[in-house]
Chains A and B, each alone.
Chain A
Amino acid sequence: MATQRAAARTAPSSPALPDDGSVGTQPGPADPQEGAVKRELFKYRLRKWLFSPRPFLMLIGFAAFLGGWYLLVDVLGVWRFGTLPGLVEVVTEWTAREPAYGVSLFTSEYYTHIWVSLRRILLAFFAALALGIPLGLFLGWSTRFREFSFPVFELFRPIPILAWVPLAIIMFASDEAPVIFLTFLAAFFATALNTLLGVQSIDREYMRAAFCLGSSSRQVFRHVVVPGALPFIFTGLQIAMGVAWFSLVAGEMVAGKFGLGYLINSSYTTTRYPTIIIGMITLGAIGFLSSAIIRLVGNRLMVYRARAMA
C-alpha cells in the first residue's frame, strides 16, 4: 500500500499503476539472473498477448475502419461521401513513383514539407521548453514572484493561440518567424503551467525532510523541487507537443509557404484532394512519434517510476 501511495503521490495521472498492490514490494538482492528472468517474462507476456483476442480485435477494428472508408467513398459514394477522396485513390497516389498530383513517398517535395514543419516544431518546442520550465519552476518556488506575475500570465492564457496571428505577423516581419512564434506560444503556456502545477504537487514532507537533513534552499530546489516536478513537467511536454502541432498546422494554413499544414490547405485550393489525406496521415504519424519520443525520454529520466510500475 505504502509503495503504491508513494508512487501515486508523485504521479499526475498514474495511468499504469498495478492494481494488485503486490508488485514491486519484494525486496531481495539483485541477482545476475534478473535479466534472464525479465526476458522470459517478456516472452511470456508477448505470447499471452498474441494469443489473446486483443490483436485479432484490433485488426478487425482497423479493417472495419478502412473497409468502411472504401465502401462508403470508393464503392457506394452515397450521400456526400462521394465528394471525399477514396481509399484506393489515396493509397495509389501516396505510393506512386510518379504521382498524379505531385506529392508521394517518392517525391522530394513530400520530404521538404515534412522537414519544414519538423524544423518549426523543434525550434518552437525547445524554445518553449527552455523558457517555460524555468518560469514554471520559479513560479512554483517563489510565492512572492507567483503572486505578482501569475495573474498576468492568467490574463493571456484564455486567449486562443490563433488570435495571436495578426500580432505575430506585425511583430515579426518575416514569413517564418510568426508561425514559429505561434507554435512556441502554445507550447510555452502548456509547459509553464504544468511545471508550476508540478512544483505545487510535491508533497511538503519531501521538502521538510530535505530541510531537516540540512539542505539549503538551493539544494532543496535542486534535489526535491526539480525531480519532484518532473512527472508533471513531462505531462506538460506531452500536452505542449500536441498544442504545438495544432498551432503549427493552423499557422501554416493561414500564413505559411511550406509545411504540412500549407500542403493540406494548398492541396484543397488547387483541388488535389488525395494529397490532403496524405498530409493528414503524415501529420498524425509524426505527431504520434513526437509524443512517443517525449514519453520515452521521460521514462529514461524517471527510472524510479518505471520501476515502480514494472
Chain B
Amino acid sequence: MARPVAQAAADEARAGDGQARPAEVGKGELRVEHVSKVYDPEGAAFVAVDDASMHIAPGELRVIVGPSGCGKSTFLNAIAGFHSISSGEIWLDDELLCGPNKPQAKPGADRVVVFQHNALFPWKTVLDNVTYGPIVQERLSKKEARDLGRERMEQAGLAGLEDRYPSELSSGMQRRVEIVRALVNDPKVLLLDEPFRGMDSLTKSVMHESLLEIFDKNKVTVMFITHDIDEAVFLGDKVSVMSTRPGRIKETIEVDIPRPRDYRVLTSPRFRELMAGIHGEVEIEARKAFEAGEREMA
C-alpha cells in the first residue's frame, strides 16, 4: 500500500527545524512512529488512526488540521497518556512514552495539555490554579510557586486577577490562564486541543496574537489541534493535514511566513496561497466525513 505518510515524514526529517523558534537542542522532540488506534465500542471495531507517523522538532509549533472525527485528538490523548494506542511507538526525546508492551503513556508534567473546554479548577482561585503544578510536584515551595505564578501571570497580562475564581473571568482570560498554568511547569511539549473552539472570531484573533507572544518567550514544542485553517496557518511552523477516518497524515506543509507574525500576515499573498492549498486538502476530507454520516456516532 502506498503511504504518502512515509513520504511526508521523510520530508519533515529533511526540512529540519530551520523555521522553528529557538529551543535547546534535544528538548521536546516528539516522534510518532506508525501509530494506529482501534476503538472497540460495543464490539464495533473501527480504526481511528491508521499508521500515522510524524516528527516534531524541538521548539516547533506543529498544527494538525482535519475534519471532525479524523482522529486528531486520539494523537493528543495518546501523547498525553489519556488513551492507549493499538500499535506503533511514541517517543519524547529519548524516552519511549508508549509502544509495544506499554500501550498507554503515563501522564506527566513534561507534556501538559490545554483542553478543548475550560479545565481550570473552578474551586481554586486563578493563582492557585496557576501554581497547582509546581506545588503538587513539590518542585517549588508554596511561596516560591506563588511568586513565580504572579510573575508569569503578569507577563501574560493577567496581573490583578490572582484572587478571582475562573468563573469570574471572560473565556479569553480563562484560556490565557490555562496556558500560563501549563507553561509554569516548563513542559517539554505543550498540547493544545482546539483551545479556541467556540470563541468569536475577534476574541480568537486576539488570543492568537497573545498565544504567539507567550510562545516566543517560552522554549517549548507545541502540538496544536484545530479544524480552523486560518488558525493553523497563522500559528504553525508546519501544518499537518489529517485524512478522515481512518485518520492518516495526508500531507505536511511548511509555513514559510517569517515570525513574529501579526494580523497583517492574514492578508499577505503567501498566507492566502498556503491557505488555498490546505483548504483544498481539508475540504475533500471534510466532504468525505460529512457524506460518511459522521453524526451517526454523536
User: Are A215 and B136 within 8 A (Cβ)?
Assistant: yes
User: Are B161 and A27 within 8 A (Cβ)?
Assistant: yes
Q: Which residues of B contact A80 (CB under 8 A)?
A: none
Q: How many A-B residue pairs have CB under 8 A?
A: 125
Smallest Cβ distance from B148 to chain A, in angstroms?
14
Q: Which residues of A contact B111 (CB under 8 A)?
A: 212
User: Are B108 and A6 within 8 A (Cβ)?
Assistant: no
**Which label, helix, strand, loop or mixed, suits the secondary structure of the B interface?**
loop
Smallest Cβ distance from A199 to chain B, in angstroms?
14
**Residue B174 at the A interface, CB < 8 A?**
yes
User: Are B133 and A214 within 8 A (Cβ)?
Assistant: yes
- A304 to B126 Cα, complex, angstroms: 11
User: Are A27 and B164 within 8 A (Cβ)?
Assistant: yes
**Residue A163 at the B interface, CB < 8 A?**
no
| B109 and chain A: residue at smallest CB distance | A214
Q: A25-B170, A214-B185, A304-B165 are in contact. Are A230 and B123 (CB under 8 A)?
A: yes
Q: A7-B167, A214-B108, A214-B109 are in contact. Are A304 and B123 (CB under 8 A)?
A: yes
**Residue A47 at the B interface, CB < 8 A?**
no
- A211 to B104 Cα, complex, angstroms: 14
Q: Which residues of A contact B113 (CB under 8 A)?
A: 208-209, 212
User: Are A307 and B168 within 8 A (Cβ)?
Assistant: yes
Q: Which residues of B contact A6 (CB under 8 A)?
A: 118, 120, 122, 166-167, 174
- A10 to B122 Cα, complex, angstroms: 8
Q: Which residues of B contact A30 (CB under 8 A)?
A: 160, 163-164
- B-contact 0/1 string along A97-131, CB 8 Å cutoff: 00000000000000000000000000000000000
**Residue B224 at the A interface, CB < 8 A?**
no
User: Are A216 and B198 within 8 A (Cβ)?
Assistant: no
| B123 and chain A: residue at smallest CB distance | A227
**Residue A219 at the B interface, CB < 8 A?**
yes
**Residue B81 at the A interface, CB < 8 A?**
yes
In the complex, chain A residues 6-51 whose Cβ is within 8 Å of any chain B Cβ? 6-7, 9-10, 24-30
User: Are A24 and B168 within 8 A (Cβ)?
Assistant: yes
**Residue B284 at the A interface, CB < 8 A?**
no
**Residue A144 at the B interface, CB < 8 A?**
no
User: Are B168 and A303 within 8 A (Cβ)?
Assistant: no
**Residue B121 at the A interface, CB < 8 A?**
yes
- A307 to B173 Cα, complex, angstroms: 17
- A155 to B164 Cα, complex, angstroms: 45
Count how many chain B residues have C-beta atoms less than 8 Å from C-beta atoms of the other chain: 40
Smallest Cβ distance from A228 to chain B, in angstroms?
7
User: Are B133 and A213 within 8 A (Cβ)?
Assistant: yes
**Residue A203 at the B interface, CB < 8 A?**
yes
**Residue B75 at the A interface, CB < 8 A?**
no
**Residue B49 at the A interface, CB < 8 A?**
no
Q: Which residues of A contact B80 (CB under 8 A)?
A: 208, 212
- B-contact 0/1 string along A248-271, CB 8 Å cutoff: 000000000000000000000000
Q: Which residues of B contact A1 (CB under 8 A)?
A: 171, 198
**Residue A71 at the B interface, CB < 8 A?**
no
In the complex, chain B residues 115-173 whose Cβ is within 8 Å of any chain A Cβ? 115-124, 132-133, 136-137, 160-161, 163-171, 173
Q: Which residues of B contact A196 (CB under 8 A)?
A: none
In the complex, chain B residues 182-224 whose Cβ is within 8 Å of any chain A Cβ? 182, 185, 198
User: Are A25 and B169 within 8 A (Cβ)?
Assistant: yes
| A10 and chain B: residue at smallest CB distance | B122
Residue of B80, B117, B119, B137 contacting most chain A CB atoms (<10 Å): B119
* Residues of B bordering A, CB below 8 Å: 80-82, 107-109, 111-113, 115-124, 132-133, 136-137, 160-161, 163-171, 173-174, 181-182, 185, 198
Known: A6-B120, A205-B117, A307-B165. 19 other contacts (CB 8 A): A2-B118, A2-B198, A3-B166, A3-B168, A5-B118, A6-B122, A10-B123, A25-B170, A27-B161, A206-B121, A208-B113, A208-B119, A209-B121, A212-B108, A214-B133, A223-B124, A304-B124, A307-B167, A308-B168
18 pairs, CB–CB < 8 Å, chain A vs chain B: A2-B117, A2-B118, A2-B174, A6-B122, A7-B122, A24-B168, A30-B164, A209-B121, A210-B121, A213-B181, A213-B185, A214-B108, A214-B133, A216-B136, A224-B121, A228-B123, A230-B123, A304-B165
